[in-house]
Amino acid sequence: MAIIGAGRVGRALGRRLHQLDWKIGAVITCSEASARKAVRFIGAGKAHATLSREVLASRLILISTPDDAVVRVAAELARIGAEELRGKVVLHTSGALNSGALKAVQDCGAAVGSMHPLQSFSGVAIPPLEGKVFAIEGAPAAIRLARQIVLALGGLPVQIAAG
């Protein structure tokens, strides 16, 4: 898994998934310093300050950037790895956007979806995710992987319509 945007949600999900033996590859943030800090918090991954082709080595790309960056990140992923996205799953964690925000990578053959935890993330502590609802939607392959992630976290996946 690669994580793009390691703010509160990305760091928390990354750390918890790493603790559950999910392999975290690249961690991409706006600066090298914040990427290194995120990698230390998560306990795994390789820090990057810009999107690189290394992110395309992952089967799953999790975009946990602010809402207004999701479309831009998807477009940049499509630009750097168009053909390599085929068969990958790209999820975002925005509660304000549906999987349509990832159209650029979907057009390259990626299965896209959203996986939004209905939980507030504040400070540096990881909130308990067991029993928390995660709204998921998107392509069938993306929904399957999102459901697998949510269940691994002890959460409750609830499939919603894109609208």
Summarised one tens digit per residue, pLDDT across range 49-62 is 888 888 999 999 99
Name the pairing type of β-strands 111-117 and 133-138.
Answer: antiparallel
Decide: 49 and 25 in contact? Cβ < 8 Å: no
Phi, psi of 127 (to 5 degrees): -70, 155
pLDDT value of position 123: 67
pTM, two decimals, is: 0.95
The yes-or-no verdict on residue 122 having pLDDT over 80 is no
Alpha-carbon distance 47 to 29, whole Å? 8
Poorest-pLDDT segment among 40-54, 57-71, 91-105: 40-54
Alpha-carbon distance 9 to 13, whole Å? 6
Rounded mean pLDDT of 148-157? 96
pLDDT value of position 54: 84
